[in-house]
């Protein structure tokens, strides 16, 4: 009986780890300090259920439906604070520590003043199967883990339609200036 | 035994029932009981069907409410993500412009 319970517990823990890729519990303490908060924990079944209710006739929802078609989990923490200093970049250390493993590779990292923006890719057996977004500043922090994202174009659509523009190209250093006379595409 | 007693005795004397009496009584009893019997079963069946239908409707309503709630949650999450991706691109564009200006100087 005890063995069965232990196996069940192990399976539950394993299932949770598989579903989430990243433990976001270190951020929970900010919920009490935040002016506004959004906490989303959706496993595959919830994502599928939600996707089945997205209306393909609605432009935004159609984009969302396409973007989440491969998702196996969606976990988000977004906290907004009244005062500066409620959140420090050091508070992200428990998250950063988890990214040191072999599964995570940085795609984009921008750190300037007191702002930090990062996109990480999760790979299993060399195949991309997840994405992490960290956007932190003085009064706001957003951490999002999308499990099952197989390529960034899946998510490019939501930034275009739901966020405003296309996903950035994977560079942290700006490209060198173009030769004189060449027009900028932008 | 006087006359009255004799009459009474005669009147109360045990008589055999006419032939087929028991069958006729049983048949009439069965006939009068049958409709009520079926109506009872029908009512019970209707009640069960009603309950099953009610549960199915409630489940469907619950499933729809949960689905709608999940949809709203997902849309909010995607909007926040999309907005942050946009911020990142804007920030990259700013850095790129700044570096471009520096290199031109």
Residue stretches of chain B with pLDDT short of 50? none
Percentage of the residues of chain A whose pLDDT score is greater than 90: 40
Report how far apart, in Å, the C-alpha atoms of A159 and of each of A67, A69, B91 are: 10, 16, 14
Backbone angles phi, psi at A42, to 5 degrees: -125, 120
H or E segment to which residue A108 belongs: strand A104-112
Alpha helices in chain A (DSSP H): 2-20, 44-52, 59-67, 93-98, 152-158
Q: What is the mean pLDDT of residues A47-58?
A: 91
3-class SS letters over A137-165: ECCEEEEEEEECCCCHHHHHHHHHHHHCC
Task: Please determine, for residue A68, whether its predicted confidence score (pLDDT) is greater than 80.
Answer: yes
Interface of A with B in 61-80 (CB under 8 A): 61, 64, 67-68, 74, 76, 78
By DSSP bridging, strand A36-43 and strand A127-137 are unpaired
Burial B84-102 (b: 16+ CB within 10 A, else e): bbbbbbebbeebbeeebee
Q: How far is A73 from chain B (nearest CA, A)?
A: 10
Identify whether the C-beta of residue A156 lies closer than 8 Å to the C-beta of residue A166: yes
Percentage of the residues of chain A whose pLDDT score is greater than 70: 73
Does residue B32 or residue A16 have the better pLDDT? Answer: B32
Task: Please determine, for residue A82, whether its predicted confidence score (pLDDT) is greater than 60.
Answer: yes
Task: Please determine, for residue A15, whether its predicted confidence score (pLDDT) is greater than 90.
Answer: no
Kindly state the greatest CA–CA separation across chain A. Answer: 77
Distance CA B68, CA A52 (A): 9
- Give A133's pLDDT tier (boundaries 50, 70, 90): very high
Chain A residues lying within 8 Å of B104, measured CB to CB: 177
Taken in order A46, A51, A55, A58, the sign of the CA dihedral is positive
Domain ranges of chain A: 22-163
Contact of A171 with chain B, judged by CB distance below 8 Å, is answered with yes
Contact of B94 with chain A, judged by CB distance below 8 Å, is answered with no
Task: Compare CB distances from A174 to B83, B89, B95 and report the shortest one's residue.
Answer: B95
Q: Which ipTM did the prediction report?
A: 0.75
Closest residue, chain A, to B94 (C-alpha): A174
């Amino acid at each position: 009986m005890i063995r069965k319970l232990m196996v069940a517990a192990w399976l539950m823990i394993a299932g949770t780890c598989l579903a989430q890729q990243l433990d976001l519990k270190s951020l929970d303490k900010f919920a009490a300090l935040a002016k506004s908060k959004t906490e989303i924990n959706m496993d595959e079944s919830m994502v599928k259920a939600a996707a089945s209710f997205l209306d393909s006739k609605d432009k935004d929802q159609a984009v969302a439906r396409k973007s989440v078609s491969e998702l196996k989990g969606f976990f988000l923490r977004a906290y907004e604070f009244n005062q500066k200093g409620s959140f420090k970049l050091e508070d992200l250390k428990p998250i950063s520590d988890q990214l040191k493993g072999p599964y995570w590779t940085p795609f984009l990292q921008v750190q300037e003043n007191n702002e930090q923006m990062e996109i990480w890719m999760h790979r299993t057996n060399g195949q991309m199967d997840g994405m992490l977004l960290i956007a932190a500043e003085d009064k706001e922090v957003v951490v999002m883990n999308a499990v099952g994202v197989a390529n960034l174009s899946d998510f490019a659509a939501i930034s275009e339609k739901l966020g405003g523009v296309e996903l950035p190209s994977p560079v942290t250093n700006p490209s060198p200036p173009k030769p004189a006379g060449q027009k900028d595409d932008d | 035994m006087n006359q009255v007693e004799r009459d009474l005795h005669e009147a109360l004397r045990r008589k055999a029932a006419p032939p087929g009496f028991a069958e006729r009584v049983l048949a009439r009893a069965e006939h009068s009981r049958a409709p009520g019997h079926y109506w009872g079963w029908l009512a019970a069946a209707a009640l069960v069907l009603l309950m099953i239908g009610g549960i199915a409707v409630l489940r469907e309503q619950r499933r729809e409410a949960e689905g709608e709630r999940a949809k709203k949650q997902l849309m909010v999450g995607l909007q926040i993500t999309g907005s942050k991706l946009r911020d990142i691109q804007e920030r990259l564009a700013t850095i790129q412009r700044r570096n471009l200006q520096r290199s031109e100087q």
